[in-house]
Structures are given as C-alpha cells and as structure tokens.
Structure 1
Amino acid sequence: MATAAERDERSGAAAEAAPAGAEVRGYLDHLAVERGLAANTLASYRRDLRRYAEFLAERGIDSLTGVGPEDVAAFLRRLREGDAEHPPLGSNSAGRAVVAVRGLHRFALREGITRTDPAEEISPPRPRRRLPKAVPLADIEALLAAAGVSGDARGLRDRALLELLYGTGARISEAVGLDVDDVAGDAAGVVRFRGKGGKERVVPIGRFAQEAIEAYLVRGRPGLAASGRGAPALFLNARGGRLTRQGAWAVLRAAAARAGLDEVSPHTLRHSFATHLIDGGADVRVVQELLGHASVSTTQVYTLVTVDRLREVYAASHPRARSAPQA
C-alpha cells in the first residue's frame, strides 16, 4: 500500500489533471482568502477534495455540472470501504471529507457553476457513539475517602463537593453555582440546581452527601467565609469567594491522586452516578430527570453500558454461553 505522501502526490496530480480540479482550486482559494480557514483545516480540505476530484475523474466526470447524488453517495462508500491506494476511513474522517464535498457543491451552486446541489441530501456518517466512562463503586469510595483527609475547613469542603457530585450527578458548573439556600433550610434533603438554559431541577441528596454538606456548613464554611465578603455561594475558596470550576477540578485531581486513580473527571462522577443507578434498577426516565437531560434519548446511552455488563455476566455465568470444551 502506498505511503501517505505518495498517495497525496498521486491524488494531487490526478486532481490537477482533471477538469474538476480547477473548480476545486477555486473553492479552496475562496476558503483561504474569504473565509480565512486555518492552515491545518485548509490542508485537510485540500486532501479530501483532491481525492474527490480524482474519484470523479475515474468515473469519467469532467465537471461538477456532471455530478449526481449517486456519485457523491458512491464517493462516501469509497471512503468507508477504502481501495488499493487508501485504507478505509472511520466515521469521523469520512464525515470531514463529506463536509468538504458538500461545501464545494454549495459553493458551485452559489457561484452559478452548477444549477443543482447533488450533495444536499448526502449526510456525513454518524460517528460511533462513545459509551460514557464510569468507574467501579470501589474506586468511587476510594476517591471519596481520599477527599478531605485533613479534616480542616478546606478538607470538609472537598469531601462535601465530591460527595455532592457523585451523589447527585451534578455538572461541575451546577455544583459550583450552588448557593447555601439551595441545600439548606426548606430545601434540606434535596438540592436545587440551575442547569443549562437556566432550567431548574430538584434532586434528592443521599445520606452520605447530606452528612458531608452539613459537616462542611457547620465546621468548615464559616472559617472560609470569614476571609470574604459574605458570598452566598455554598462552596467557597480560601479567600471566601465562590469556588471556580478550575478550583473544583483541582480538588478532584488531588483526591484522585491520593486514591491512585487515573483519568477521573467531574463528568466521570456524573457518568458513574447514572450508570450505577441504571445498574441498580432505576428507570431510565427517572435518571433523565435527575441528570436534567432534555431528551430521554440522551440518557439511554447508559442502558448500553448496562447491556454490555449483562453480556459479560451472562458469558461468565451461563453454562451454555461458554465455549465448547476441546475434544
């Protein structure tokens, strides 16, 4: 198989030789001069469109006016299947190439080069859905135990923050945006979050999180508040102001390091919260409400995680799921 440099050289030569190559060059000039695309983005578009021009030349098409929807669809299939000169592309890379092709045809239509847009109905391949990363409960417990080991004001705050993140599935921006009134007084036992778009939701606080927050409010927050100007924020920094997202990240990183855990983020705690609920039998629509998802389809990704877990347990446990014994 040819190297990337050889493929680019051949592709470029074929594109330059093909009449459609002139139309491609015109579009690339437009992107560089009028749109001001970054050099790396422009280089990617150039590679993708040179390959497209080469593909059209192979099919005997000498101008964009001769391109039909079936030609664009065939190009997408070629990208995904690969050929003697190119390996198959994944959905992300193929999608980028299709975006470049669609932009080329829109440009040709707008400039009066063509009368129709054959790529209008061609959608980029959907990227493979990445399953959210969750960590086992034992690791969560180790992380929480490692938070606030000092027992001072900041230690109590750190433990309360992480217990809240895992105990409610909150986004980090929602957690640092809380005020004391959102968890105290009439709101005891629940927390009131202001999510995306200002939408509010009420989430129960589990016993561990509630106890950690109460300990922080009684023994930790007053000391931090003494350094500030009476900020209403629940989680305060050392100067008495509202703890920032960056500050909350630092709290989590420090606890993860003490617990010996890698690649733990606030979103990991949110994913773990949802996955553990689904594993425990919670209805997906209840989890949707707790997470504040606008659509249940966003929450259903966690059911895929559970299905994978079910397959593992089934394969390890059911006598007819195991491989046949060797003769």
Structure 2
Amino acid sequence: MKVRSTKVPNLVVTEETGVYYARVRVAGKLRWKSLQTKVFSTAKLRLKDEETKMRAGAIGTNEDVGAKLTFEDAFKRYRAAVNADASLKPATKHFRLRSERTLRRTWPELWQRELRRVKSDDCRRWLNDFRNGGAAFTPKRAKTKRRGDSPTTINAAIRFLRAVFNVGVEAGVMYANPADALETVAPRRKLLQLPNRDQFAKLVGEIRAAHSRWGQGPGDMVEGLAYTGARVGEARRMIWAHVDEERGMVTIPGEKTESAPRVNPMTPAFLDLIQRMKERYQPRPIDPIFQVRSVLGSLRVGCEKLGIPKIDHHDLRHLFATTCIESGVDVLVLSKWLGHSDGGALVLRTYGHLRPEHSTRAAKLVDFAPPAG
C-alpha cells in the first residue's frame, strides 16, 4: 500500500483509500496511527492531538510488540482491551468480539499470519469469497448448510478485522490498515408483512384460546409488545412499578442507547390490557408485568393456523409504529416513544411504506381536479 506525503509534517495519506495517517518517529521508531478520516482539514485538526498522545507514550506502551505480531496475538490484545473497558456494556463487548468465530471459519489461515504480511488484496479476496457463499457451514443440530453471509454478519466481520489490524497500526508494526479498503454491504431491507387490525385481533384470540389451560402469559406479551412498541428485552425488564395508571404513563426500561429508557403515555389498548391483567394476577409492584420471556412459538403457530405471514417479536414493534403513523401520530413523537435519538430519521426510513390499505386510502385524498369556478 502506497502513501503520499502532504504539506503538513507527519501527515500522510494512503493513495489507495484516501485515509489520512499520523506518521511520527518516537524513540527512534516510526509509528503510524489512522486519523479515521479522508478529509484533509479534519485530519489536520486530529493530527496535533494524535502526535501528543504518541509522543507521551499512549501508543508507545506496546514496546513488547514485535514486528512478527500475528493476527492471533493482535486479537488477544484487542479482546483484553475490550473486556477491560469499564465504559462498555456486556452486550457491547459481546457484539465487538462475536465475529471471532466468523473469521476463524471463513479465513482460518489468517490467524497465524504476521500482520505486516497481510495486504489489502488479501482482504478483498477474503471478502469476495465470503460474499459469494464460499464459506458455507452446517450449524450444530442443523441438517443443511448455510451461507452465513448476511450483510449484518459481513459488516460486523469487516469492523472486527479493522479493529484487530489497528492493534498493529498503533503498535507501529504496520503503517496502514489493510481492511480500510473494504466496503461494507448495504443491509437488505426487510419487506414488512404485518397483520391488519382484524388479523391481529384474530391472532391474539387464537393465541389466548391455545393457552387457555396454561395461563394467558403469551397473549399478554403479544398484546403488550404491540401496544407499547417495546423491544422484547425491554418488556422482560418491565415491572408493575413502571406503570402509573393515575398519570396514564408507563416507564420502558430500555438500554440499547442513551435515549432508549423512556416514559411514554399509555395507549388506550395498553391501559385496557393492564387493567385486565391486574384483575387476573393481583400483582405486587416488584413483579414482572409479563410472565413469559418469548412468544415466538405462539406467534408461529397462530399465524400458521390463520394463514397469515409469520411475524416475530420485533414485528410487533413494527406493528405498533405503523399503527401509530396510520393513526396520525407525529414522526418525531413516535421516534421518542420508540427510544430513537435521530429525530425521526429511522422511523421515516423504516415505516415510510405503511400498509397497502393505508396507502390506498391516502391516494384517494390526492386531488388533481382544478378548483371550482
């Protein structure tokens, strides 16, 4: 990989990717650090801080790292750094490290190679093979092979590669990250096939009838997810103390993002569900609202019996959002109810399609007739 000097001392740019790097000699050793930008003005601003860190020894703590550092060795250092970061939640740590198995399966020979010997072309060949199903595998207890190359899996593996290679870049073993040249894959947009209101009412009735002997827990959770828009993990953490009937508010203890925990007004349907459940269970404030942790099986069986497209937990969140939009709820308000922090951008991207019958009704409102008179 070739680099080109700039008019700014210690600032270089890779000709292949256009990413800027700080190249600083510290204690007689030339060290490299990606500035994570292709914009010259931004790189200049970041360069000074990076030079200070490098000369202060922030990166020089890797003096024990030899030039023959392997990908396996770099991964162990990366894993240790992730696990030692107290600011990261357990789920975040798992997400950052989960692609280890993917890389061991799709590129097994990489792990014992020296980082400095891995080139951008090697990474491209791996990605091309991966994207074209060249690493099919048979999961445990499965009978058929799977490609395992969904956009989510591929993009996570690319981020993992970059993170591990950055260990070598920061240690001065290599001057550029060979995975920087890889392009992520656009995620496939899921075509939502949600039940209409009549179908959903029948689905709830079917699930409640199927569980009449063993309790109404599955039916309660199906309705609860659809009437609140909570993620299934959030619903599992909801307790009766989170319900304020006097104010008509419910606390949803989200933790996916900083804006995920929220206090929302209860929809009439959810308030009705809560009142029915209280009469049935006589719960304590510390009791969980929902008595089951999953309703996937109930949804699958119910949808099959009714002959409607299969839905899962997250589809019930989609159903809530779609119903809110169809009912005239403002996009910004809905995004806050869902725990988004982007001002409604994700809501517009995800739910702009709505359901066919709603779109048909909306189209009839479009009038091209000239005004009377």
State the TM-score, normalized to the length of structure 1: 0.55
For CA contacts below 8 A with separation 6 or more, give which structure has more relative contact order. 1
Among residues 116, 123, 127, which one is paired with 2:186 in the alignment? 127
293, 303, 306: which one aligns with 2:351: 303
Identity fraction in percent: 16
Partner of 2:271: 210
**1:297 Cα deviation (Å)?**
3.1
Deviation at 1:44, TM superposition (A): 1.6
Please tell me whether the aligned partners of residues 300 and 310 of structure 2 are also in contact (alpha carbons under 8 angstroms): no
Counterpart for residue 200 of structure 1: 262
Stretches of structure 1 lacking an aligned partner (at least 5 in a row):
1-24, 50-62, 237-242, 318-327
Please report how far the alpha carbon of residue 281 of structure 1 lies from its aligned counterpart in structure 2 after TM superposition. 4.0
Q: Hey, which of these two has a bigger chunk of helix by percent?
A: 1
Matches within 5 A, 1:142-153: 142-149=202-209
Alpha-carbon distance in structure 1 between the residues aligned to 2:220 and 2:154: 45
Structure 1 residue 279: Cα displacement: 3.9
TM-score, structure 2 normalization: 0.50
CA gap of 1:126–1:185, structure 2 versus 1, over 3 A, is same
Tell me the C-alpha RMSD between the 2 structures.
5.2
Q: Does the 8 A contact of 2:77 with 2:167 survive in 1?
A: no
More strand by share: 2
After superposition, residues 1-327 of structure 1 pair within 5 angstroms as 27=70, 30=73, 41-46=103-108, 75=124, 79=128, 95=155, 102=162, 106=166, 109=169, 114=174, 116-117=175-176, 119=178, 122=181, 124-131=183-190, 133-137=192-196, 138-149=198-209, 155-187=215-247, 189-196=248-255, 199-206=261-268, 208-218=269-279, 220-222=280-282, 230=284, 232-233=286-287, 235=289, 243-246=291-294, 252=299, 255-256=302-303, 259=306, 263-295=310-342, 296-306=344-354
Deviation of 1:30 after TM superposition, in Å, equals 4.3
Hey, what does 1:57 align to over in structure 2?
A: none
Q: Contact between 1:73 and 1:122, CA under 8 Å: does it hold in 2?
A: no
When residues 126 and 281 of structure 1 are mapped into structure 2, their CA distance, relative to the original with a 3 A threshold, is farther
TM-superposed CA distance for 1:117, in Å, is 0.7
Any conservation in 1 of the 2:71–2:110 contact (CA below 8 Å)? Answer: no
In the alignment, is the contact (CA less than 8 A) between 1:288 and 1:299 conserved in 2?
A: yes
Q: Report how many residues are paired.
A: 256
Equivalent AA in structure 1 for residue 321 of structure 2: A
Query: Quick one: distance in 2 between partners of 1:151 and 1:164?
Result: 16
- Cα 1:184/1:134, change in 2 over 3 Å: farther
Distance 1:103 1:169, change over 3 A: closer
